[in-house]
Protein backbone atom coordinates (compact mmCIF):
# COMPACT_ATOMS: atom_id res chain seq x y z
CA UNK A 1 0.00 0.00 0.00
CA UNK A 2 1.33 3.42 -0.97
CA UNK A 3 1.68 6.21 1.58
CA UNK A 4 -1.19 8.23 0.14
CA UNK A 5 -3.46 5.18 0.35
CA UNK A 6 -2.50 4.69 4.00
CA UNK A 7 -3.32 8.34 4.70
CA UNK A 8 -6.76 7.94 3.17
CA UNK A 9 -7.41 4.87 5.28
CA UNK A 10 -6.34 6.69 8.45
CA UNK A 11 -8.75 9.50 7.59
CA UNK A 12 -11.53 7.02 6.84
CA UNK A 13 -10.99 5.18 10.11
CA UNK A 14 -10.72 8.30 12.26
CA UNK A 15 -9.47 6.29 15.23
CA UNK A 16 -5.96 4.88 15.66
CA UNK A 17 -5.69 2.57 18.66
CA UNK A 18 -2.37 2.95 20.49
CA UNK A 19 -1.07 -0.27 22.02
CA UNK A 20 1.63 0.35 24.60
CA UNK A 21 3.20 -1.92 27.21
CA UNK A 22 0.98 -4.92 26.61
CA UNK A 23 2.08 -8.53 26.25
CA UNK A 24 2.43 -10.42 23.00
CA UNK A 25 -0.02 -13.00 24.35
CA UNK A 26 -2.77 -10.38 24.54
CA UNK A 27 -2.07 -8.79 21.18
CA UNK A 28 -4.49 -10.74 19.00
CA UNK A 29 -7.25 -10.51 21.60
CA UNK A 30 -6.82 -6.73 21.56
CA UNK A 31 -6.92 -6.65 17.76
CA UNK A 32 -10.05 -8.80 17.68
CA UNK A 33 -11.74 -6.60 20.27
CA UNK A 34 -10.93 -3.45 18.30
CA UNK A 35 -12.20 -4.94 15.05
CA UNK A 36 -15.42 -6.01 16.74
CA UNK A 37 -15.93 -2.36 17.71
CA UNK A 38 -15.18 -1.04 14.23
CA UNK A 39 -11.61 0.21 14.78
CA UNK A 40 -9.27 -1.13 12.10
CA UNK A 41 -6.19 1.05 12.62
CA UNK A 42 -3.64 0.16 15.27
CA UNK A 43 -0.12 1.21 16.26
CA UNK A 44 2.31 -0.61 18.51
CA UNK A 45 4.67 1.74 20.31
CA UNK A 46 8.38 1.01 20.19
CA UNK A 47 8.76 1.49 23.93
CA UNK A 48 6.80 -1.76 24.23
CA UNK A 49 9.09 -4.78 24.72
CA UNK A 50 9.06 -6.92 21.58
CA UNK A 51 7.33 -4.24 19.49
CA UNK A 52 8.97 -5.31 16.24
CA UNK A 53 7.82 -8.93 16.60
CA UNK A 54 4.36 -7.78 17.65
CA UNK A 55 4.02 -5.71 14.49
CA UNK A 56 5.14 -8.69 12.42
CA UNK A 57 2.50 -10.85 14.07
CA UNK A 58 -0.25 -8.31 13.44
CA UNK A 59 0.77 -7.95 9.80
CA UNK A 60 0.79 -11.72 9.33
CA UNK A 61 -2.66 -12.21 10.86
CA UNK A 62 -4.53 -8.98 10.15
CA UNK A 63 -2.95 -7.37 7.08
CA UNK A 64 -6.20 -7.62 5.10
CA UNK A 65 -8.33 -6.44 8.03
CA UNK A 66 -6.28 -3.77 9.81
CA UNK A 67 -3.92 -0.92 9.06
CA UNK A 68 -0.86 -1.57 11.23
CA UNK A 69 1.70 1.02 12.24
CA UNK A 70 4.52 1.75 14.66
CA UNK A 71 4.57 4.45 17.31
CA UNK A 72 7.08 6.23 19.55
CA UNK A 73 9.68 6.05 16.78
CA UNK A 74 12.39 8.58 17.62
CA UNK A 75 14.93 8.15 14.84
CA UNK A 76 15.68 6.79 11.38
CA UNK A 77 17.18 3.57 12.69
CA UNK A 78 14.03 2.62 14.58
CA UNK A 79 11.91 3.67 11.62
CA UNK A 80 13.87 1.24 9.44
CA UNK A 81 13.23 -1.56 11.93
CA UNK A 82 9.51 -0.71 11.94
CA UNK A 83 9.40 -0.71 8.15
CA UNK A 84 11.13 -4.10 7.96
CA UNK A 85 8.57 -5.38 10.46
CA UNK A 86 5.80 -4.39 8.06
CA UNK A 87 4.52 -1.13 9.53
CA UNK A 88 2.42 0.83 7.04
CA UNK A 89 2.84 4.10 8.94
CA UNK A 90 5.28 5.42 11.53
CA UNK A 91 4.46 7.90 14.28
CA UNK A 92 6.81 9.91 16.45
CA UNK A 93 6.20 12.24 19.41
CA UNK A 94 8.65 14.69 17.83
CA UNK A 95 9.81 16.01 14.47
CA UNK A 96 12.84 14.00 13.39
CA UNK A 97 13.63 14.59 9.74
CA UNK A 98 15.79 11.48 9.60
CA UNK A 99 12.75 9.40 10.48
CA UNK A 100 10.67 11.26 7.88
CA UNK A 101 13.20 10.69 5.10
CA UNK A 102 13.62 7.02 5.97
CA UNK A 103 9.87 6.49 5.69
CA UNK A 104 9.63 8.40 2.42
CA UNK A 105 12.48 6.37 0.96
CA UNK A 106 10.33 3.25 1.29
CA UNK A 107 6.92 4.85 0.61
CA UNK A 108 5.80 4.39 4.21
CA UNK A 109 3.69 7.17 5.71
CA UNK A 110 5.53 9.24 8.36
CA UNK A 111 3.44 10.96 11.04
CA UNK A 112 5.85 13.16 13.01
CA UNK A 113 4.83 14.94 16.19
CA UNK A 114 4.66 18.72 16.23
CA UNK A 115 3.88 21.26 18.92
CA UNK A 116 4.41 24.57 17.12
CA UNK A 117 3.52 26.19 13.78
CA UNK A 118 7.22 26.28 12.89
CA UNK A 119 7.52 22.52 13.36
CA UNK A 120 4.33 21.99 11.36
CA UNK A 121 5.60 24.03 8.41
CA UNK A 122 9.04 22.38 8.58
CA UNK A 123 7.36 18.98 8.40
CA UNK A 124 5.21 20.08 5.46
CA UNK A 125 8.19 21.50 3.58
CA UNK A 126 9.87 18.11 3.96
CA UNK A 127 7.00 16.24 2.32
CA UNK A 128 4.96 15.19 5.37
CA UNK A 129 1.29 14.64 4.48
CA UNK A 130 -0.13 14.40 8.00
CA UNK A 131 1.19 15.77 11.27
CA UNK A 132 0.59 14.51 14.79
CA UNK A 133 -0.37 17.34 17.14
CA UNK A 134 1.08 16.26 20.47
CA UNK A 135 0.29 16.51 23.32
CA UNK A 136 -3.16 17.47 22.06
CA UNK A 137 -4.82 17.00 25.43
CA UNK A 138 -2.58 19.68 26.92
CA UNK A 139 -3.17 22.16 24.08
CA UNK A 140 -6.89 21.46 23.74
CA UNK A 141 -9.12 21.38 20.63
CA UNK A 142 -8.89 25.13 20.11
CA UNK A 143 -5.16 24.81 19.41
CA UNK A 144 -5.86 22.61 16.40
CA UNK A 145 -8.52 25.07 15.26
CA UNK A 146 -5.97 27.90 15.49
CA UNK A 147 -3.33 25.88 13.62
CA UNK A 148 -5.82 25.01 10.87
CA UNK A 149 -6.45 28.72 10.29
CA UNK A 150 -3.17 29.52 8.48
CA UNK A 151 -2.29 25.86 7.84
CA UNK A 152 -5.54 24.52 6.41
CA UNK A 153 -3.66 22.45 3.81
CA UNK A 154 -2.30 20.13 6.50
CA UNK A 155 -4.02 17.01 7.80
CA UNK A 156 -3.74 16.77 11.58
CA UNK A 157 -3.98 13.80 13.93
CA UNK A 158 -4.68 14.65 17.57
CA UNK A 159 -2.74 12.49 20.04
CA UNK A 160 -2.41 12.68 23.81
CA UNK A 161 -5.20 12.37 26.41
CA UNK A 162 -7.99 11.92 23.87
CA UNK A 163 -11.09 10.32 25.37
CA UNK A 164 -14.78 9.84 24.64
CA UNK A 165 -15.58 13.22 26.18
CA UNK A 166 -13.25 15.36 24.08
CA UNK A 167 -12.83 13.32 20.86
CA UNK A 168 -15.74 15.01 19.11
CA UNK A 169 -14.38 18.46 19.98
CA UNK A 170 -11.02 17.65 18.38
CA UNK A 171 -12.75 16.44 15.23
CA UNK A 172 -14.91 19.57 15.13
CA UNK A 173 -11.76 21.69 15.54
CA UNK A 174 -10.26 20.17 12.39
CA UNK A 175 -8.44 16.97 13.34
CA UNK A 176 -8.99 14.26 10.73
CA UNK A 177 -8.29 11.48 13.23
CA UNK A 178 -6.96 10.78 16.69
CA UNK A 179 -4.48 8.40 18.25
CA UNK A 180 -6.08 6.99 21.39
CA UNK A 181 -4.22 5.03 24.06
CA UNK A 182 -5.51 4.17 27.54
CA UNK A 183 -8.99 5.56 26.94
CA UNK A 184 -9.39 2.79 24.38
CA UNK A 185 -6.84 0.04 25.02
CA UNK A 186 -6.40 0.14 28.78
CA UNK A 187 -3.74 -2.22 30.08
CA UNK A 188 -5.87 -2.71 33.18
CA UNK A 189 -8.73 -3.98 31.03
CA UNK A 190 -6.33 -6.26 29.16
CA UNK A 191 -4.92 -7.68 32.39
CA UNK A 192 -8.44 -8.33 33.67
CA UNK A 193 -9.47 -9.93 30.37
CA UNK A 194 -12.22 -7.38 29.77
CA UNK A 195 -11.87 -7.29 26.00
CA UNK A 196 -15.61 -6.72 25.62
CA UNK A 197 -15.09 -3.33 27.26
CA UNK A 198 -12.42 -2.48 24.66
CA UNK A 199 -14.95 -3.38 21.97
CA UNK A 200 -17.53 -1.16 23.66
CA UNK A 201 -15.11 1.76 23.81
CA UNK A 202 -14.01 1.24 20.21
CA UNK A 203 -17.63 1.41 19.10
CA UNK A 204 -18.11 4.55 21.14
CA UNK A 205 -15.22 6.33 19.43
CA UNK A 206 -16.34 5.15 16.01
CA UNK A 207 -19.91 6.33 16.64
CA UNK A 208 -18.61 9.79 17.53
CA UNK A 209 -16.47 9.86 14.38
CA UNK A 210 -19.33 8.80 12.11
CA UNK A 211 -21.66 11.31 13.74
CA UNK A 212 -19.15 14.10 13.22
CA UNK A 213 -18.69 13.13 9.56
CA UNK A 214 -22.40 13.54 8.91
CA UNK A 215 -22.44 17.13 10.18
* Alpha carbon separation from 119 to 24, 98, 127, 151 (Å, rounded): 35, 14, 13, 12
Select which of 2, 12, 132, 191 is catalytic.
132
- Alpha helix stretches (DSSP H) within 37-116: 51-62, 76-85, 97-105
- Predicted confidence at residue 187, as pLDDT, reads 93
Percentage of residues in the chain having pLDDT higher than 90: 97
Total count of residues recorded for the chain: 215
184 Cβ contact partners less than 8 Å away, ≥ 6 residues apart: 15, 17, 18, 34, 39, 198, 201, 202, 205
86 close to 59: Cβ distance less than 8 angstroms: yes
Using one digit for the tens of pLDDT, what is the confidence trace for 148-188? 999 999 999 999 999 999 999 999 999 999 999 999 999 99
List the beta strands (DSSP E) in 12-117.
Answer: 15-19, 41-45, 67-71, 89-91, 109-111, 113-114
Return d(Cα 44, Cα 28) in angstroms, integer. Answer: 12
Select which of 43, 119, 172, 194 is catalytic.
43
Question: What pTM value is reported for the model?
Answer: 0.95
- Predicted confidence at residue 78, as pLDDT, reads 98
Using one digit for the tens of pLDDT, what is the confidence trace for 117-145? 999 999 999 999 999 999 999 999 999 99
Residue spans per domain, the chain: 3-208
Domain 3-208 is in which class? alpha beta
Assess whether pLDDT exceeds 90 at residue 36: yes
Confidence of residue 1 (pLDDT cuts 50, 70, 90): confident
Active site residue 57: no
Q: What is the CA radius of gyration of the chain?
A: 16
Active site residue 132: yes
Amino acid sequence: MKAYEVLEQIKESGVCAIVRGTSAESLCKIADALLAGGVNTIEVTFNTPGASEMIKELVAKYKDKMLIGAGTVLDAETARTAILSGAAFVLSPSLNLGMVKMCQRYSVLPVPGIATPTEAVTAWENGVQIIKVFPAGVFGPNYIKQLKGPLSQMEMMAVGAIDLDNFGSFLKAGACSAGIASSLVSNKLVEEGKFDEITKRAKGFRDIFESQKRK
